[in-house]
Amino acid sequence: MSHISELVVLSCLIMICYRKFNLIFNLKETFNKQQDETFMRLALEEAGLAFAENEVPVGAILVDQNGEVLAKTHNQRESAADPTAHAEILALRIGAIRRHEWRLEDATLYVTKEPCVMCAGAMINSRLKRVVFGCKDIKGGAANSLYHILSDPRMNHRVEVTAGIFEDEGRKILQDFFIARRSLKNQKKRL
């Protein structure tokens, strides 16, 4: 075989490998997006439960690398009289207890709203692999709105962040909750 023929064969092999890799990568990306949407729907259901309990409607689902749900929960600050009872904290606690292990290195946390500083710190301390969130929190978001704690290279661990899954739905349930809360507050003032 001539040198030119070898180059042609080699370039064809490279193209074939590239296409297969690209196909596999795209299939994996599609699968991840479908999986992200499935678990974010569950998180939105949890947010709905929080709304019904007069809690700020944030829901969280903790999932292991096999897609097994380790925890399903929502904000419970009011009912628990606990300032740390954010959905994310509760999910991490339940997941760690369920596994008898504080390290959640293979787990993904799905949450309807961008985590706050406290929750981001807990994610780093639990060595969480990944967080997927819906809407941004421009006033207190610690993933990529106000702070970048989860990707800060000064931290001893970094958490992979995926943002914007069902962003509109997460934002809407929060807006509806605060509109209803203000309306109720105004009604009480008139009485």
**Residues with catalytic annotation?**
88
CA distances from 19 to 10, 14, 23, 80 (A): 14, 9, 6, 53
Pair 150, 76: CB distance under 8 Å:
no
Report phi then psi at 74, rounded to 5: -150, 170
Please give the Cα distance from 16 to 21 (Å, whole number): 9
What type of residue sits at position 53? Answer: E
Please give the Cα distance from 67 to 3 (Å, whole number): 50
Please give the Cα distance from 77 to 97 (Å, whole number): 20
| Non-local CB neighbours of 85 within 8 Å, separated by 6+ positions | 75, 76, 77, 79
Please give the DSSP secondary-structure letter assigned to residue 135.
E
Sign of the torsion formed by the C-alpha atoms of 117, 93, 85 and 134: positive
